[in-house]
Structure 1
Amino acid sequence: MEIIKIPKKEGIIDRTTGKVLNRKLRVAAYARVSTMGAEQLNSYESQKKYYYEKINNNPEWQYVDIYADEGISGTTDYRRASFMKMIQDALSGKIDLILTKSISRFGRNTMDVLKNVRLLRDNNVAVLFEENNLNTLDTKTSEMLLTTLSAVAQQESEKISEHVKLGLQMKMNRGELIGFNRCYGYRNENDKLEIIDEEAEVVKFIFDKYCDGHGANGIAKMLTEQGIKSPKGNDKWNDSTIRGILRNEKYKGDVLQGKTYTADPLSHKRYKNLGEADQFYVSEHHEPIISPEKFDIVQEILKERCGARVNGRRIGNVGRKFAFSSRIRCGFCGNCFTRRTVVGKDREKIPSWSCTSFAKNGKENCTDSKTIREEMIKEAFVDSYKFLSLNTNFETEEFLNLMQDTMNENNKQDELERYKKEFSNIKSKKSKLIDLMVEDKISENDYNEKVEKYNRKLEILENKIEQLKLLAEDKKSISEGLQKVKELLNSKDIMDQFDQEIFNAIVDYVIVGGYDENGLIDPYLIRFILKREFDLSVPKDVPDEVVIQNNKIDLNSNNVLVDFINTRKYFSYERDEN
C-alpha cells in the first residue's frame, strides 16, 4: 500500500471550480468606538488610517472597505448596522478576509461571535483577530480557542457591566443626574436642568387644564389644534404623552433615578423598575415648573381616574378608585370635582368633594361653589333611586333590554382585533428595515425616518388597543350592575344604602350646584344625569317640589366612556345640606 500526500493549494480557491484564483485577497476591516465624541472620533480616525495603510501595504491584498459602528455595545449585534452590512457583503462574495482588533470588538456575546464566524467560514471568509493572532480558517486550533476566548470576553463584559452599574448607583446616591434623557421643558446644561420658557408654558397649560377637569385626550387635541409641536416634534399630540408629562416628577423640581434597569448585560434590554433594583429620589434637585402642591393634586386626580383592580380587572365604571371620581361636575363653572378630606369638629375625617377650580384658586375662579360631603351625594342617590323606582311608570325589562342592546351594538371586539393585527404588521415591517438597509435597498437616513414613523404608529395603536380593552372591562362591569338593577327592581325591595354597581350602571355623571326654579343660587343642588332615555312619566299625585325635568343636554362624547346617546334626560333631586 502506497500513501501519497497531496499538498494543499496555495492561494484562494474557487469553491465552484476548485481552481486557484489568480487575484489578490479582498480584505476589509471592522472597528467599533463607544461614541462619536471628539476623543472617540480621533480613535476612529486612527483605526481607519491603521487599517487602510495595513491593507494597502500588503501586495497580496486588495482594499475593500472599513466598517465601523458607534455608540453600540458589542454584546448584541442586531443594532450594529455597519457590522450587519459587512456580513452581508461578505456573504455576497465581496470580501475574503476581515481584520479586527479583538474578539471583544467583534462581539462579546459568545453565541453571536461563534454564529457569525461559522457563517463566514462556511462561505470561505476568514476573520483575523489581530490581538490573539487567530485566523478562523485555521481549523486546527481556531474553534476551541475561539470558544474559550469568547467565553472569557463574555465574562469580562458581565464584570464590566457590574462595575458600571455600581458606579452609577454611587452617583445616584450622591444625587448626581444620570442618563438624562430629553425632558420637555428643560435643557441639560453641564448636568444642571434649566427651564425652556416656551415649553414650560405648555407644561403649565397641561397641568392647569387637567386640574380644571379636562382629560388627557382632550388636552392633546387642544395642543394639536393650537399648532404646538409635541416633544418629539410631531404635529399631533397623543394622550399618552400628556399622561407622561403629568406623572413626571421633574416638573415639581424632583428627580427619581433608577426608573428602569438592565436585567441582562448581554442583551442590554431595559425593564421598568418595579422594585427589582434600588431607586433614588432626589427632592428639590432643580427649579420646578409646577408647584409641588399642584403636582400632588394632579397625582390624586390621576389615581382617582386610574382606579383600583380586583383579580386583575378594574372595578367600577372607568375603574374609579372612588365612586364619584371624574363623575361630578360643577354646576357653575363646569369643571370636575376632586375628592378631599375635611376635618370635622371632633377631628373626624369627612370625605368631601370640591370643584377643582374652587379648590385651586378659591372664590376667585368659582364664586358660588361649595364643598359637599360625599355621604350627602350618596344619600341623594338612594332617595332619587327610590323615587325613580316607585313613582315612575317605566317598564323595567324594556329599559334593561334597551341598555343591553345598546352595549351590544357598541361591541368593539372586531375593531380591537383589527388594531392588534395592524400593530403586529407594523412591528414586522419595522423589524425588516435593518435587512433592507444592509442590502443597500434604503439609506441610513431613510431607515431612521421609517423607524420614527413606525414608532409613532405603534404608539397610537397601542393607545387605541388599551382604550378598547378598558372599554371591554367597563362594559362587563356595567353589565353586572344592570343585572343587579334588574334583580332589585323585580324583587320590589327598596335600596336603603348606596350601591356603587347600580350607580355606575345607570348614572352618567352628577352635577352639583346650580340655580333653583326661582333662579336662586343653590350650591347643594344635586342632579343625576342618566345614561339612557327613561320613560319617566310622573303620576299626578307626585308633589310639585320633586320634579322630573325633560331638558335635553348636549354632552361632549369625549367625557362619556360608554356613549349611549347624545341627548339624555336627567332626574333632578334637590336636598338641603342641613
Structure 2
Amino acid sequence: MSSSSEDQLNSFAAQNAYYTELITANPEWEFVDVYADKGITGTSAEKRDDFQRLLADCRRGRVDKVLVKSSSRFARNAKECLEVIRELKALGVGVCFEEQGIDTSELAGEFLTAIFAMMDQKESENISDNIRWSIQKRMAGGTFVPSSLPFGYKKDEEGGITIDPGRAEYVRGIFSDFLKGYNTQEIADRMKKCQSVDPALSPYQWTVKAVARILKNEKYTGNSLWQKSFRTPTLPRRSLTNRGELNQYYAPNTHPAIIDQAVFDKAQSLLRERKQHYFSKVKCGTPISGMLRCGHCGTLFRKQVNSGITYFICRTHTVYLDACPVGPVPERTIHDAFLRLYHKLRHQGISILTQLLTDLQAARRGRLLWSLDIVGLNQKIADITRQDRLLAQLKQQGLVDPDIFISRRNELAEQLRAAKLEKERFLEAEEDETIQQTQELIEALEAGPDFLDAFDGELFRELVDKIIVESNNPPAVPAGQRSGADRAHRTDGAVMGSNRKRPFGYKMEFGEVVLHPAEAETVRWIYNSYLAGASYNALVNELRERGISYDGDKPWNKNMAARILADRRYIGEGGFPPIIPEGQFHMVQVRRQERASPCKKTPAQKELRKLYGGNPPAWVERQMLGLLNRLIRHPELIICPALEEEPPPEAKKLRRELDELLHRPPVDEAQAKRLALQLAALQLNDIGPEEYETLRLRRLFQGRAPMAELEQELLHESVRGITVSNGTVTVLLKNNQTLEGGKCT
C-alpha cells in the first residue's frame, strides 16, 4: 500500500482476505503466502521487505504464479518492474495484474506491463515534483524547517529549533580540539570514549567522517545554507552533492548559534590547509590496488614504480625491513598469476565449484531442517493462520461485530507479516553469502571468454576478492629439471626485488637514514681498493675472507661490488648522507669505463646467460635459435605433458568425511562448510599450470616469422631453463615440456 492511513489499513486487511480466499477456493491452485508492504513507496524495490521475500521464494522454486491487484501496487519504477518481470519469467513464474487484465506469461504481457509501469512511474514523479516545489519555496522564503536537525539541536514544543545544552557542549569541544591541533581521528576516538559513559552520544556512530561533517556544517553558526545536496528527479533516485545544478538558499539567523562565526571560519581555513597538504596528490589506481595483503604482517600492499617497472610492496616491509620478510611483487607477476588462475577455473574449476555449491546447500538444508528457531517460527505462523481462519468463520456466522472483525484481522495480519519477516531475516542472517557468492562465481566464469590473451582488470575485480601474498619467492622447478633453470630462478628473484631497500652503508634510526659505521667503512675500503687496482673478484674474495655480511647472510658477488661502485647516493644524492668524496666517485667511474668490455651483449644474450647460469658457448645460442625456430614453424610440437588424473589421497579422505557429516543429522553446517571449502581448495591447487601454459605457448609461437637471431621477449616468455650435456642443449619450456637436441621428447 502507498499510504498508512486508517482507510488504507482497512483496505489492506480486505485485500489480504480477498486474495487468500480467491487462491484457497481454487482447487487447482496451492496457496503459498500473501506478500504485502504497508506505507512503503513502490519506487524502490530494495526498501520493500515483503517484495524481497516474494522474490526470494520465487528463486527458491516455491511460487509458480503471482496475483497482483494492479501494476501500481507491484512497482512504480518502470526499470525495476521490467527487470523483475523478466527475472520471474526466466524462473517460470508469471505475474497476473487483476485490474489491468495482464498476464506476463502471455505473448503481449511484458509489453503491456511496460506501458502501465511507465504511467505509474510518471504519476509518482509528478507527486514528488509537487512536494519538491513546495520545499524549495519555503527555502527561498526562509521558513523551511528540516525534518532532522544537526547534532546539538532539538525541536521545542512549537516545532522551532533550539539548542540541546548537553550535546552542544560536545560540539564546542570538537571545534576547540580541532583548532588546538587534534586531527579528526583523534577527536572521533575521544567521542567514542565519552559515548560509553554518556547516553546522549549513544545513538551516533563517531567516525572521522562524522567529525568532519560537524566541522563543515555552517548551521552551528546560526545560519543555514539549504540544498547543499539534492535527490535526482528521475528513478532510481540518488542523493548528489549540489555543484551548481540547482540553486542554493542562504538564510541568516535561522536559529540560535552554538559556535561563533570567527571560530567556524578558522576551522574552515585549517581544513583547507590540511586538505592541501595531505590530499593534493592525484592518485592513479589500478584494478589491483587495495587487493593485496601481506600474509606475514597483515598490512596492505602499496604501488611503487622503480626503473619503469610497477611493483606492489608491503607497507611494513617498506618502513621496517626486518619486521617483514615479504619483498616487492611485480605487477606483471600478478597479471600472469591471474591469467593462469582464470584458465584453471574456467576449464577445470567449474565442476569443482558446482560440487562445492551442492555441498554447501546440502549442509544448509540439513541444519535448517533441525533448527529450533525455524521450527518455532513455523509454529507461530501456523497458529496465527488458524486464528485468522477461525475469525473468518465467526464473521460468516455473524458472531463477530464488523468493526471488531476488521480491527482483529488487521492485528493478525500484522503479526503474521512480522513473523514471516522475522523468519526471512533469520534465514538471511544465518546465510553467510558463501552459497550466493559461489553461484555468482560460477555464472561469471561461464559467461567469461575461453582464454584470456591479456590481463582484464574488470574481470579481475569481478572474480577476485583479495590476494594474500605469503611469499615472493620464485616457484620451484620439478626435481630432475633444475641445474641451469634453478640458477635462473634465483637470479630472477634477485633482479625482481631484493629485500634491501637502502644502500649498503646506511640504516634507519628514528625514521631517518643515517650512516651505518661499519658498513660505511667497508664502502670506503671498496672504493680505495678499486682505485688501487683491485678487480671485482679480488674485492669479493677479500670481503668473504673478512666475514663481512651483505643483507643478512647473502654471500658477496661481483654484481654487489659493481652496484656499490656505481651508486651516486654515496656522494649524497637522494638525501643520503655522503660517504665518498665526489671527486673519488668520478675517478672510480672513469676507471670502470676503462675496464669495461668493448663487446656488449644483446638483451637476448643476457637472458640466455640467466637461463644457462653463466656465459654459454656460441654453439648453445645457435642450438637455441634452431629449437625456437622449429617451434615457430611447427607450434603443434608444443604438447601438454601427461598429468596425474587420480585425485590426491587427502581429497578422497575429505570427501568421505564430508559425506558422512552431511548424512548425520543434525548437520554441523560450520564444520561441513569448512570441509567443503578445504576440499575444493585442495582440488583446485592440485591442478597444475601445464594446460594453460601449453595453450599460451602455442598462441605465442603461431604466426611468428622465423628469427635471424634470438629475441629476448620470446626467450623470456617461453623458456623456463636450459641444461647442456654431451654437446646437446635440453630446453625446459614454461609448460614443463622438455626439448632435447632439437627433437621433442
Q: Tell me the TM-score normalised to structure 2 length.
A: 0.36
Of Structure 1 and Structure 2, the greater helix share is in 2
Richer in strand (by share): 1
Give the TM-score of the pair, scaled to structure 1: 0.45
Larger radius of gyration: 2
